[in-house]
Structure 1
Amino acid sequence: MSKWFPFQENNLLKQKVLFCFHHAGGSAAVYRSWIEKGGEFSVLPVELPGKATRMKEHFIENMSELSGYISEAVLAYAEQREIYLFGHSMGAAIAFRVAYQLENVFHRKVAALIVAGRQPPHFPNRDQYQSYMGTEVLLQEMIRISGAPEYLLKSRELQDFVLPLIRRDYKLNESFEYRNEQISSPILAYAGTYDDDAPIAIMEHWKEVTSGKFWIEPIEGNHFFVTDSKIDFLQKMIKDLDQVICKEEKCKK
Structure 2
Amino acid sequence: MRESRAKSVWLQREPSPAAAARVFCVPHAGCGTGVFRNWPPEHGPVDFLPVELPGRLSRFGETMPATFEELAADMIAGLERYMDVPFAFFGHCWSALLAYEATARLQRAGGPAAARLFVSSQLAPQDGPVGRMLGMDEAELAGELEAMIRDQGGTPHPELVAVYLRVLRADVEMSRRYVVPDPLRLTCPITAIGWSEDSEVRPGQMSGWPACGDTSFEVFAGRHNRFVDAPRELLTTLCAGMAGRGPSRLPVTSR
Band of TM-score, shorter chain: 0.7 to 0.9
Q: Is the 8 A contact 2:145 2:161 kept in 1?
A: no
Q: Whose helix proportion is higher, 1 or 2?
A: 1
Give distance in 2, aligned partners of 1:230 and 1:97. 26
* Alignment CA distance shift 1:27-1:232 (3 Å): farther
- Does structure 1 conserve the Cα–Cα contact (< 8 Å) formed by 2:124 and 2:206? yes
Choose from 147, 153, 163 the match for 1:161. 163
The answer (yes or no) to whether the contact 1:112–1:186 under 8 Å persists in 2 is yes
User: Is residue 39–residue 229 contact of structure 2 (8 Å, CA) maintained in 1?
Assistant: no
Structure 1 spans left out of the alignment, 5+ residues: 246-253
In the alignment, what sits opposite 1:248? none
**Which one-letter code corresponds to 2:127 in the other structure?**
F
1:13–1:231 Cα change, 3 Å:
closer
Kindly provide the amino acid, as one letter, of the partner of residue 180 in structure 2. Y
Counterparts of 1:173-252 in structure 2, within 5 Å, are 173-180=175-182, 181-210=184-213, 212=214, 214-228=215-229, 233-242=234-243, 243-244=245-246
Cα distance, 1:62 vs structure 2: 1.4
- Whole-Å separation in 2 of the counterparts to 1:229 and 1:70: 24
- Equivalence map 1:1-253=2 (5 Å): 1=5, 2-8=8-14, 11-79=16-84, 81-130=85-134, 133-141=136-144, 147-149=148-150, 151-153=154-156, 155-180=157-182, 181-210=184-213, 212=214, 214-228=215-229, 233-242=234-243, 243-244=245-246
- Secondary structure of the residue aligned to 2:66 is coil
Residues 129 and 178 in structure 2, CA contact (< 8 A), matched pair in contact too: no
Change in CA separation of 1:50 and 1:161 when aligned onto 2, cut-off 3 Å: closer
Aligned residue identity for 2:148: G
Which residue of structure 1 aligns with residue 253 of structure 2?
none
Write the letter of the residue equivalent to 1:103.
Q
The CA RMSD over aligned residues, in Å, is 2.5
Work out the CA distance in 2 between the residues paired with 1:135 and 1:28. 23
Q: Secondary structure at the match of 1:6?
A: coil
C-alpha distance in 2, partners of 1:85/1:165? 22
Alpha-carbon distance in structure 2 between the residues aligned to 1:66 and 1:173: 12
**SS of aligned partner of 2:222:** coil
Q: Normalized against structure 1, the TM-score is what?
A: 0.83
By how many angstroms is 1:92 displaced? Answer: 0.4
| SS in structure 1 of the partner of residue 89 of structure 2 | strand
Q: In structure 1, what residue type is equivalent to 2:31? A: G
Could you tell me the percent identity over the aligned residues? 22
Structure 2 alignment gaps of length 5 or more: 248-255
